[in-house]
Structure 1
């Protein structure tokens, strides 16, 4: 393989404008592949379960994907630092697309869960390498901010159209089509990456790198156990098995820390955590993920189940949140490079997220729709100011040698924060809703109806509600009043969960002061171009 130093262009990028654009389109298509899959599949899940008949594995369709992707993100982020990112990006597209075809061909829930696990490996490789490709192409952080808009836009478009596309495909072409839709996107991204993305290596090693297998195994055990603990928490509380999983996660994390401190080619360089700025940014990634996923997961349930909106109405209200993440990212790219203190954008972003969460906490079913949409816009803009800056600041601080692992670790920590956010909110919703419904039924001497009202999903399915009200009324109970009590219990539970997310956003605002002032310098670094 011929290796030579690539010439930089005066604009602070490795390639001329046309080649940069085509390479970025390839990376953006890759990002769209993951984002589209995450949003499209959720809409089709109820239909999938009813056809494949495996409700006990329902949660595992999402869990298996998350589990394998959380594990592989940091591993391939580090490998990309050593060998360049292009080979792993190509491999990830192939794995992800092939796994999507297997998902579409699934004839049982177990087969689907295994295929989703394989898809998660591809998704983790994608996330671990794609985000770090941008600083490879644009070493100048100011130039990088402008180009990152392409990736943010691809992510935003996929998130915006995903739920509607998932519903449309499931209704008219069957649930298998929601997986097959990844095939054309995967092929397009593969063509662009193969043809236009250069194979860049920023660190030339005199000796061959030996993969830190014990470190990789300990990362897998620690993150895997943590993911399973978080999955079990909402349904089973602090059961013995949940506590055991948490103990395994903590033990593996401690062993990982000890091992990586003396490993010469550590997959997780612990010296990164001695950097005060990086530690602060990693903390903000966890807190930001907690707030973001709590809002994204439970606001739709609040609007549909709590406020009685139809799926279309709820979709219309929630869409500005996703769309304005993209608009906020675009605006951020224009603003942050022009102000003296770029850290100010983090303060503004977290303040806006906190305002959105705390305002939704006091919203009721009588709150005007335009006001709810305005709150979604505020929250979306706040996330648009926070997410790209966390990435840019981390890349700026980590240095070239740790760029891939630092970027990948940031994504992993955001996902871990999101896991805890949804688990904590989910636990509160499950227990507070069940408690409220049980009290209402006991007061009406109708406690034997608890199984019919135990799942909050009853508050979304209007046909099931009408049938239940009729049955309750026939049995001599006030069905409409009991259902309204259940709705109030759900609203109270989600309100509390989103209030916690708002408090976490305020904590993030306070923690932002720990990030030392970041300077977005115009600098050009040597890069190795491997053909």
Structure 2
């Protein structure tokens, strides 16, 4: 195997155009594999649970995946810095696709949960390494932003097609097909990555490498405990279990900091956090994830459960949010490299996100659909302006030596912020909805019906509503009034949750002013070797 220095092509990229395009298609197929799986599986979950009869493990189908991926993203991001990213991208495709086959073959919920955990390991490896392949291929940030449109398009297509594809496959081919559909995409991405993605390594890491396994274990323990606390809190409140997880996370983080200060080759280089640009960008990744996931998770609930829209109607309202993430990313790539102050795109993005959240907070079921679509459009553009720039600015600030771990930390912290956002918003919604339903039933002297209203799903399932209304009518209750009161309580809960997201957006706007002026005219030092 020959080894040679990889110098940038004259156009600011390692490879000529054709080879760059084929390599980027491989990375795009890989990211589409994960993005499509996350959107498709959610649609099939109720059918899966009904067949496998494991409702007590319902949440774990998602939690096991997220927990495994949050833990593995930073670990493999750092290992990619050491050994090059191509071997880990190939391994992630094999693990993810193989785990998808196991998920499709599951005949009990526990097996499915474990297979989803393995899938999460593959997804974490993938996210931790695939995103960092892009600055390897395109050291010039201006060129990189243009090529990142392919990644944004892959995500946009997966997010737009995923829910409908999941419903179609589940209805006509059974829920197992939503996992088996990963096989052709996985094989396609494996071919492109193996054939066209070069194996680039940082020449600074060519000597003896000491892998910081204890650091990796402490990262897993601290992020895992935090993730579990965020998952458990909305369901159990401040219980013994949730407090134990919070204490474990609180002890693990200082232990991680203590050990990484001593390690000669730390898994998590703490000097990244003393970098003024990176430290703010990491914070913005958490805040951006909070806003994005709060919108994506709870807008469908507001539109269907609160405003009484059909799933198709709600999907039409959500589509601009998803589609304009891609459009915003494309527009951003064209604009940001021409600005004297590229940081301005972060300011515009967080402003648009804040306005989107405020628009949702003031919306009612009487709000014209055109206004709702415009609100979603603002949110999509805001995310399209914020997310690519956080990644590119972070890669610029980190430099070649910490490129992988910095990129991985940005992705991992975005997921952590997303889980905090969904947990906080979900907790507020749950409490306000239950309080409102209790008050409505007390007024109607119908507390014995609380069990029927306890889950907001009753506001979406029209078949269940018909049966409940018939029962309430037989009991002499005004079922329509009670459902309207329940909808009002749900709307109030979602409004309060997204009001918090609006506050977070404007806090992020204020914090973004602390990002040092970024210059996108300097290429990352291309000190890499190609095998």
TM-score (norm 1): 0.99
Residues 237-246 or 288-297, more deviating:
237-246
- In 2, Cα distance between the equivalents of 1:14 and 1:265? 28
Aligned to 1:179: 179
Aligned to 1:237: 237
Aligned to 2:406: 406
Aligned to 1:39: 39
Residues 422-479 of structure 1: CA deviation (Å, up to 9, x unaligned) = 0000001111101100110011111011111000011000010111011011111111
Aligned to 1:9: 9
- In 2, Cα distance between the equivalents of 1:456 and 1:339? 47
Aligned to 1:508: 508
C-alpha deviation, 1:6, in angstroms: 1.8
Matches within 5 A, 1:96-495: 96-495=96-495
C-alpha deviation, 1:207, in angstroms: 3.2
- In 2, Cα distance between the equivalents of 1:515 and 1:207? 34
Structure 1 contact 356–375 (Cα < 8 Å) conserved = yes
Structure 1 contact 349–381 (Cα < 8 Å) conserved = yes
Aligned to 2:56: 56
- In 2, Cα distance between the equivalents of 1:205 and 1:455? 54
C-alpha deviation, 1:202, in angstroms: 2.0
Structure 1 contact 232–242 (Cα < 8 Å) conserved = yes
Structure 2 contact 99–115 (Cα < 8 Å) conserved = yes
Aligned to 2:95: 95
C-alpha deviation, 1:92, in angstroms: 0.2
Provide the secondary structure at the position in 2 that maps to 1:514.
Answer: coil
- In 1, Cα distance between the equivalents of 2:150 and 2:277? 27
C-alpha deviation, 1:254, in angstroms: 0.8
- In 2, Cα distance between the equivalents of 1:148 and 1:232? 36
Structure 1 contact 31–155 (Cα < 8 Å) conserved = yes
Provide the secondary structure at the position in 2 that maps to 1:14.
Answer: coil
Runs of 4+ in 1 over 6 A off after TM superposition: none
C-alpha deviation, 1:525, in angstroms: 3.0
Provide the secondary structure at the position in 2 that maps to 1:426.
Answer: helix
Provide the secondary structure at the position in 1 that maps to 2:4.
Answer: strand
- In 2, Cα distance between the equivalents of 1:328 and 1:115? 35
Structure 1 contact 202–400 (Cα < 8 Å) conserved = yes
- In 2, Cα distance between the equivalents of 1:349 and 1:205? 37
- In 1, Cα distance between the equivalents of 2:523 and 2:77? 23
Structure 2 contact 396–524 (Cα < 8 Å) conserved = no
Structure 1 contact 198–529 (Cα < 8 Å) conserved = no
C-alpha deviation, 1:206, in angstroms: 4.9
Structure 1 contact 361–496 (Cα < 8 Å) conserved = yes
Residues 370-395 of structure 1: CA deviation (Å, up to 9, x unaligned) = 21111101100000000000000000
Structure 1 contact 12–524 (Cα < 8 Å) conserved = no
Structure 2 contact 200–530 (Cα < 8 Å) conserved = yes
Provide the secondary structure at the position in 2 that maps to 1:274.
Answer: coil
Structure 1 contact 65–121 (Cα < 8 Å) conserved = yes
Structure 1 contact 235–430 (Cα < 8 Å) conserved = no
- In 2, Cα distance between the equivalents of 1:129 and 1:526? 17
Unmatched segments (≥5 aa) in structure 1: none
- In 2, Cα distance between the equivalents of 1:31 and 1:444? 52
- In 1, Cα distance between the equivalents of 2:186 and 2:3? 29
Residues 163-187 of structure 1: CA deviation (Å, up to 9, x unaligned) = 0100110011100000011100000
Unmatched segments (≥5 aa) in structure 2: none
Aligned to 1:69: 69
Structure 2 contact 286–417 (Cα < 8 Å) conserved = yes
Structure 1 contact 3–528 (Cα < 8 Å) conserved = no
- In 2, Cα distance between the equivalents of 1:332 and 1:182? 31
Structure 2 contact 204–527 (Cα < 8 Å) conserved = no
Provide the secondary structure at the position in 2 that maps to 1:401.
Answer: coil
CA RMSD, aligned part only? 0.9
Structure 1 contact 129–404 (Cα < 8 Å) conserved = yes
Residues 193-235 of structure 1: CA deviation (Å, up to 9, x unaligned) = 0000000012343532121111111111111111111111111
- In 1, Cα distance between the equivalents of 2:236 and 2:431? 10
- In 2, Cα distance between the equivalents of 1:314 and 1:486? 19
Residues 521-530 or 467-476, more deviating:
521-530
Residues 48-57 or 197-206, more deviating:
197-206
C-alpha deviation, 1:521, in angstroms: 1.6
- In 1, Cα distance between the equivalents of 2:301 and 2:256? 38
C-alpha deviation, 1:69, in angstroms: 0.2
C-alpha deviation, 1:305, in angstroms: 0.3
Structure 1 contact 355–502 (Cα < 8 Å) conserved = yes
Residues 38-83 of structure 1: CA deviation (Å, up to 9, x unaligned) = 1000000000000000000000000000000000000000000010
C-alpha deviation, 1:526, in angstroms: 3.4
C-alpha deviation, 1:257, in angstroms: 0.5
- In 2, Cα distance between the equivalents of 1:526 and 1:473? 73
- In 2, Cα distance between the equivalents of 1:509 and 1:14? 35
Residues 382-391 or 469-478, more deviating:
469-478
- In 2, Cα distance between the equivalents of 1:360 and 1:180? 37
TM-score (norm 2): 0.99
Residues 219-256 of structure 1: CA deviation (Å, up to 9, x unaligned) = 11111111111111111111121111011011101100
Provide the secondary structure at the position in 2 that maps to 1:201.
Answer: strand
**Distance change (3 Å), C-alpha of 1:188 and 1:434:** same
